[in-house]
Amino acid sequence: MAKSFKLNAYSPDGSLIANCADHISAGLLMSLYGDGSTIRYKNAILWTEGIDGEGAQSYDGTMIKVYEGLSKLVVLV
């Protein structure tokens, strides 16, 4: 079974929106809250809507960017 990470979705003003079990739900929230909203793991920003792309337009692209960030944090082992 794949390891599950709790990703956090934040609004552009920095308020916590939700804890997400996967990148798809976090990506959907990015499209709802718009540019400047972020996906984070702990305090590390893995995705910024409008800078890294549009979360809901490519869930695969969002997943790749989020997993690249997690691998840099040495979370994926």
Domain holding 20, by residue range, is: 7-72
Let me know: does 71 contact 51? Beta carbons within 8 Å.
no
Residues of the chain below pLDDT 50: 1, 77
Q: Which of 34, 17, 13, 22 is nearest to 70 (CA)?
A: 22
Answer yes or no: is 20 within a domain: yes
Answer yes or no: is 32 within a domain: yes
Give me the pLDDT at residue 1, please: 42
Answer yes or no: is 68 within a domain: yes
Residue 53 tokens read as: 């792309």
Answer yes or no: is 35 within a domain: yes
Let me know: does 39 contact 27? Beta carbons within 8 Å.
yes
- Count of domains forming the chain: 1
Give me the pLDDT at residue 24, please: 85
Answer yes or no: is 2 within a domain: no
| Exposure string for 35-65, b = 16+ CB within 10 A, e = fewer | eebbbbbeeeebbbbeebbebeeebebbbeb
Answer yes or no: is 14 within a domain: yes
